[in-house]
Chains A and B, each alone.
Chain A
Amino acid sequence: MNLSALSQLFIPLLVLGIIGYALYKKVNVFDEFVEGAKEGLHLGVTVFPCLIAMIFGINILLKSEILNHLFLLLEPLFSFLRVPVEILPMALIRPISGNASFAVMIDIFHTYGVDSYLGRIAAVMQGATDTTIYVLSLYFGSIGIKNIRYALKAGLFADFVTLVMSILLVTLVFGS
């Protein structure tokens, strides 16, 4: 059995396990579900304004195409560091929007091939990290944190490590 089939099995098994165990522990499963769902409803309502704000900001930045033009400027630096230039848009967009970087990844798949050097790097970059700015504003925005201290620095550092690691590992394992 392959991995995707296995993870497809996981969710039903998880739900089955939780409800089965809860029944065994004599939990009022229906009542508790409704109680929790109410809280989820409230959670969603608090998160929505935050979501709309982030999408507004992120989409305006992406649609202005400044990032696409910025990477033309950064190109010499990247070739100097022997980082494949084609991966740059991916690296710039990954911390900002998961959906946009997913689209960039598919673009790279189409242009260079799924099993190409660049395709593999993009796939590892997409999979090995999460969207820093999105998660940060959603999680902190939902509880009203204004002073995030050093959180952004630490998050972006992880994205940078992912960039380096994905290029390094793909080169090591699959060769360039």
Chain B
Amino acid sequence: MVFVINLIWGSFILIGIGYAFLTGRVDVINQEIIECGSSAVELFMGMFPLMILWSGIMNIAKKAGILDRLARMMRPLFRLIFPELKADDPALGYIASNLTINMLGIHNASTPFGLKAMKCLQEKNPKREVATRSMITFLVLNTSGVTLIATDIIGVRSKLGATSPTDLVMVTIIATVVNTILALLVDRLLWKRWKNRELKRT
């Protein structure tokens, strides 16, 4: 369980190259190894300037007290979701902003807030290589997706001639809310199971 990221990454590559060998399509892998760097740079260059820009705006919002205010507004919710964080934890301001901006579907802008929130949580982490309960809960909120209006999908649908490009908005919102709530419940369940196992071990 410990090196899951390493395991996933390693097996992606082993399986990918192994399978290409088996099916006799090694040329594709060769191509990919050469091109992967530039596609990564392309993706990075797309998000890097925006990341710098939004980090700047984020800092202004922080200094003006907007982040704290947002966190205070969401406090009742946070107390429920993040029981381990104190009400004045600096991470909560970033978490609140990340979630708000994510809900509106602006992923480029929400990533710096998310990374900053993780960094704040990491500062108080006693075991630096082990994810804390709050980190996992925050991650689950991000991976389950909290986007209420996915503008890119609406855009593509309208371009391809959907009769009513926004007719899926309600359905998508319901799906998001349900999967987020269920994911949070499972997160809590798994945490309890983990804790019990730790207790037994000691």
Contact = CB atoms under 8 A, between A and B. Distances in A.
B24 to A, nearest CB: 11
A130 B44 contact: no
B119 interface: yes
Given A63-B20, A149-B194, A158-B144, A43 B183 contact: no
Contacts of B104: 7, 10
Contacts of B186: 153-154, 157-158
A140 B15 CA distance: 23
Interface residues of A, number: 94
Q: Could you say which of B17, B55, B129 has the most chain A C-beta atoms within 10 Å of its C-beta? A: B55
B103 to A, nearest CB: 11
Contacts of B3: 146-147
B153 A139 contact: no
Nearest to B41: A52
Given A19-B57, A59-B32, A141-B5, 4 more contacts: A129-B143, A139-B115, A154-B190, A155-B144
Nearest to A26: B64
A154 to B, nearest CB: 5
B172 A128 contact: yes
A147 B160 CA distance: 44
A14 B144 CA distance: 25
Given A140-B5, A165-B178, A169-B175, A126 B153 contact: yes
A44 B151 CA distance: 25
A18 B136 contact: no
Interface in B7-62: 8-9, 12-13, 15-17, 19-20, 23, 25, 28-29, 31-33, 36-37, 39-41, 43-44, 47-48, 51-62
B165 to A, nearest CB: 8
Interface of B is mostly: helix
Nearest to B174: A169
Interface in A1-37: 2-4, 7-8, 10-11, 15, 18-19, 21-22, 25, 27, 29, 32-37
Interface of A is mostly: helix
A135 interface: yes
B163 interface: yes
22 contacts: A7-B149, A25-B64, A27-B64, A32-B63, A44-B44, A51-B43, A52-B37, A52-B40, A56-B13, A57-B9, A61-B13, A64-B28, A115-B163, A123-B153, A127-B147, A130-B143, A145-B131, A145-B135, A146-B6, A147-B129, A149-B136, A169-B175
Interface string B172-196: 1011101110110011001101100
Given A58-B12, A131-B143, A33 B37 contact: no
A66 B19 contact: yes
A162 B176 CA distance: 7
B4 A148 contact: yes
Contact of B157 (A33, A36, A54, A109): A109
B58 A36 contact: yes
A10 B43 CA distance: 24
B59 A33 contact: yes
